[in-house]
Amino acid sequence: MKNKRNVLYSMVIMLAGVISFSVQCQQKNGIQDAVKTEGASTSQGPNSIVRTVKQDKKGSIWIASWEGIFKYDGKLFTNITNKVSSARFFSVLEDSKGNFWFASVGSGVYYYDGKSFKNFTTKDGLANDRVTNIYEDKTGIIWFGTEGGASRYDGKSFKNFKMSEASPLTEGDSVHSSAYQNPIPKDSWMHNDVNAIIEDKTGKFWFATRGNTFTYDGKVFTAVTSKDGKPFTNVRSIIKDKKGNIWLGGADGLWHYDGKTFTNFTQKFVGYIYEDKEGNIWTSSETDNNQVWVLSRYDAKSLYNKKPIVTEIANKPMIFGILEDDKGNIWFGAFDGVHRYDGKTITNFNLNSGH
């Protein structure tokens, strides 16, 4: 049953059209004038898939979508990358210096300082041009999860890491369309296809891949296994909560790790995990109907009870990145754009919403 769900998930993503487009405009030394590249501002957000939603230090909402990177100032949406790239974007990060990083599928990574862009690709040392996630560690180093391993950027150069000595990805393989195998062979390229990166409270890094999940102590990659010795495979999201505990979400469901013990909360496929200011855990996960996903909230006060209180907030064909903004609203991405939940009502900001 799990294999069927995984195959269906891949097929849905493939049908959504993940083939990335090439950069349309010519860049001079990888840099473009931001004044000339920003698109017109409108009251509508993207109409297609939104993968990540983040809020910057000034309060603006940033949205990584199939149509570009959008910035929302509370009134208007501006497509920041409209004239820079036609790539499909998966992730956005504001680093500790206030600069932005955008991960694209096929065109590498874009750096944006608020005025100009710089594009990093395999020609600059990036492990792979298909990049799905970005993470900044406690020292300010930027990490990129790619289809060909993890890339570490120190501001000057890239250092690449592979979790496994697996065969390299071939043109016929695709992170978005390949059927899953259980167990996944040790020589599968999936072990180097990084879905998420996190640094835990001990300083170890966790790398969730399309294959196994690994920890890295600076020298050795070790596969993460449950108490029965089974590896965690196809983990899509990892977070470190306020207490320093690790949460994993993926093909094996939702798991909590306190440094000693793994605890399972659901066995349904979990695509994204988020902790809000009150300590509630939000997830996007499958329902019994594989064509419908649900946005759920696990109540913080009952998290460690035998039966935590779980509230279902929204149902969509797919639900992606989750964010709580500075006003307490919950934002999430879906196939039809970005949505905001104010505790009572869900607002959709796409072209057909009337906003």
Give residue-wise pLDDT tens across range 115-163. Answer: 999 999 999 999 999 999 999 999 999 999 999 999 999 999 999 999 9
Residue 30's Cβ-count burial label (10 Å; 0-12, 13-18, 19+) is middle
Tens digits of residue pLDDT in 242-270? 999 999 999 999 999 999 999 999 999 99
Rounded to two decimals, what is the model's pTM?
Answer: 0.87
What does pLDDT average to over the chain?
Answer: 87
Q: With contact defined as beta carbons under 8 Å apart, do 328 and 345 qualify?
A: no
46: left (phi over 0), alpha (psi -120 to 50) or beta: beta
Residue 169 has a pLDDT of 66
Residue 187: alpha-carbon gap to chain centroid: 25
At 254, the amino acid letter reads: L
* First-residue to last-residue Cα distance in the chain: 40
Look up residue 22 and give its DSSP letter.
P
| Topology given in CATH for the domain delimited by 2-170+178-353 | Methylamine Dehydrogenase; Chain H (2.130.10)
Q: Where do we find the tokens 């978005």?
A: 176
CA gap 355, 352 in Å, rounded: 8
Q: Which ranges in the chain belong to alpha helices (H)?
A: 2-15, 34-37
Work out the number of other CB atoms within 10 angstroms of the CB of residue 181: 13
